[in-house]
Amino acid sequence: MASELPDAVNVGALSLDERPPPQNGSESHADGSGETAPGVVEDKSSAAKKKKKKKSKSKSSSDKPLPTQKFVDQLFPWRALNKPNVGRCAVASRDIKAGEIVVAEHCVIFIPRSRDRAEVCHSCCCDIAPPAQSFECPGCRYAVYCKACKKEAMEEHKLFCQVSNPISGIAKIADCDEDLLRLVLALILKRRASKTGDKETSDPGASKDGTVQDGIIYPSYEDAIALKTHSDKVPTSWKDSVRKGCQLLFEEAVKAKVVDDLDVTVEDLENFAALVNTNSHGMGAHGSGYRNADVAVGIFPFVSMLSHSCRPNCCFSSEGRVMYVRATRDVPKGTELCISYINLYEPRSTRRMQLAVTKHFLCSCERCTEPFALSVDRFLEGCICAVRGCGGVVVKTSSLYEQDSKSASPDSLFQFNTTSWKCEGCSRVLDPKLSAYLTTESGEYPWQLVAAASDKLGAAMGVYRERRFKEARVLLEQHIAQFTGKLHPLNLLLFDALTPLMNCCRATGDAAEGSRVCRLILNALEKVLPGVSLEQASFYFCLGEMYLQRSESAGTSVMAKHFKKQAQEAFQQARRIRGVCLGKATLPS
């Protein structure tokens, strides 16, 4: 298997819901004090257990607070605590209001993604527009700088340039991700800057490392290397190719005298790769619109203290090299602060599989651990019972009886082979192995429905991707008509058809149908992911644009006024949500 830089956390892919306060006594201070955070009520038995544990076992390095944590404690409304099976996590030290900044952090290192290397300044991470305003390094012909950074950045780039050149080739030989190797090189140079104070290798922010300026934390190299990795859990094939890539990178670094006096080994490079694998965050501003989202990857040790939740209460966005995390709702003191690492409109099994494969942990968030039979998750993969008068939701028994995630390991996700389905209404169980002896009133079994819907949607999406919008619209509408009433209305196989259908309507000038479909999307998002998210703001913005279009082409002035009002309301919603998520109540430009 090719080693891949797993998807960095998706900027803005989140939504949220009310979270109950954290479980009592389940967390302890990351400083090893054994105290609970303010607001985390501790019961006596767990306190006693903790004391016992403290005596018998000293804290591992990955439980300790990061070196710069003390500044975070002064600046931001959370403390780092330890949670069993999760590690360090951020817990609110006071009530936090929706829209409040909970972390503002400069990256320790970042690199533009190779596919976007010409779109982003390799020094300040600004959006390079128009591309004619950029300057390419004549040495590596890879790094690109904006006008403002050119002079200073080219100087700092010297060492990176010497080793960066062969990285694409190394990645091909070792069959590993070139962006991963570039991040490893950036970490080597950061180590060099921190050890030697060599200005040539340090970025402009290096003098601020381990400090706070203007409300922004500047973490140090030591903060970065204190982050947790999952090198014990990654597949051997990934390790093998990364080892080979690191070996070749190390040889280049030796040739360029980049690692002289640095006391680094190939194993250190492998550890850097594992650290990047677990902790990298996608970067890219949402402020200016849709462009420049997820165009770079960086390491932000304090943003990394926030765990993942499939029902998060915070979201993050970056501006240049600074990442901001904001609360997306009011968060009571003592509640864990969480962001989302993945797309959340996915069935539980898909989300957990994705986190297990790319991030190597089994998600134990509130949404993934609440009983499936009571969770909105059942609708995302559910069918409607075909028994007359029942109308219950039919789901896979493997989803229904999934093991308790807190005690299971990621491997257990791969062990389910139960393929029977059960109706929550009439309790009827349908098993494909016995299907020859069973009948459903409609003659369609849930597994057949899902397979047919998946094929039909796949075919429509193929046409849509070729931008044959008229044809794609017909296919998408047929798909929705065929499976409405058979699949649950929130089923992903229906939901996934809506955004392309809306885009087809817009592309073919049908703003009336486009706005109707957009409302369906917003309703589904609200039911599955209640709360605010940048994704939701984008749909409100689209809705506003479509209503404006309708207002411009309305037959009467009364209708024009009506649609204009609808547009204003939609834009107002988009502004409100962006105000919470980005701190700027403005519309994308």
Ligand X SMILES: C[S@@+](CC[C@H](N)C(=O)[O-])C[C@H]1O[C@@H](n2cnc3c(N)ncnc32)[C@H](O)[C@@H]1O
Instruction: Give the residues lining the site for ligand X (CB under 6 A).
Output: 62, 86-89, 227-228, 230, 278-279, 304-305, 307-309, 359, 361, 363-365
Nearer to ligand X, 227 or 582 (CB): 227
Nearer to ligand X, 123 or 307 (CB): 307
Could you tell me the smallest distance in angstroms from the CB atom of residue 245 to ligand X? 22
Could you tell me the smallest distance in angstroms from the CB atom of residue 260 to ligand X? 31
* Cβ partners under 8 Å of residue 354, min gap 6: 342, 346
Six-digit token pair at 266?
């190939």
Q: Residue 213's beta-bridge partner residues?
A: 216
* Cβ partners under 8 Å of residue 118, min gap 6: 128, 131, 134, 136, 144
Q: How many CB atoms lie within 10 A of CB 565?
A: 12
Could you tell me the smallest distance in angstroms from the CB atom of residue 219 to ligand X? 13
Six-digit token pair at 433?
């192995």
Six-digit token pair at 524?
């589904």
Could you tell me the smallest distance in angstroms from the CB atom of residue 175 to ligand X? 24
The whole-angstrom separation of Cα 533 and Cα 184 is 32
Name the closest residue to ligand X (Cβ): 87
Nearer to ligand X, 217 or 475 (CB): 217
Nearer to ligand X, 85 or 586 (CB): 85
* Sheet with 307-308, side-by-side order of all strands: 28-29, 78-83, 87-92, 336-339, 307-308
Nearer to ligand X, 314 or 457 (CB): 314
Could you tell me the smallest distance in angstroms from the CB atom of residue 303 to ligand X? 8
Q: How many CB atoms lie within 10 A of CB 532?
A: 23
The amino acid sitting at 589 is S
Could you tell me the smallest distance in angstroms from the CB atom of residue 255 to ligand X? 34
Nearer to ligand X, 290 or 414 (CB): 414
Could you tell me the smallest distance in angstroms from the CB atom of residue 301 to ligand X? 8
Angle at which helix 178-196 crosses helix 266-279, to 10 degrees, equals 110
* Cβ partners under 8 Å of residue 269, min gap 6: 184, 188, 246, 249, 250
The single residue listed with the structure tokens 């968060």 is 331
Cα torsion 358, 525, 535, 294 to 10°: value is: 10
Helix (H, G, I), strand (E, B) or coil at 584: coil
Q: How many CB atoms lie within 10 A of CB 408?
A: 15
Could you tell me the smallest distance in angstroms from the CB atom of residue 366 to ligand X? 9
Nearer to ligand X, 227 or 297 (CB): 227
Q: What single string gives the DSSP state of each residue in 108-174?
A: SEEEE-GGGTTTB-TTT--B--SGGG-EE-TTTS--EE-TTTHHHHHHHTHHHHHHHTTHHHHHHHH
Nearer to ligand X, 86 or 490 (CB): 86
Nearer to ligand X, 36 or 309 (CB): 309
Could you tell me the smallest distance in angstroms from the CB atom of residue 227 to ligand X? 5
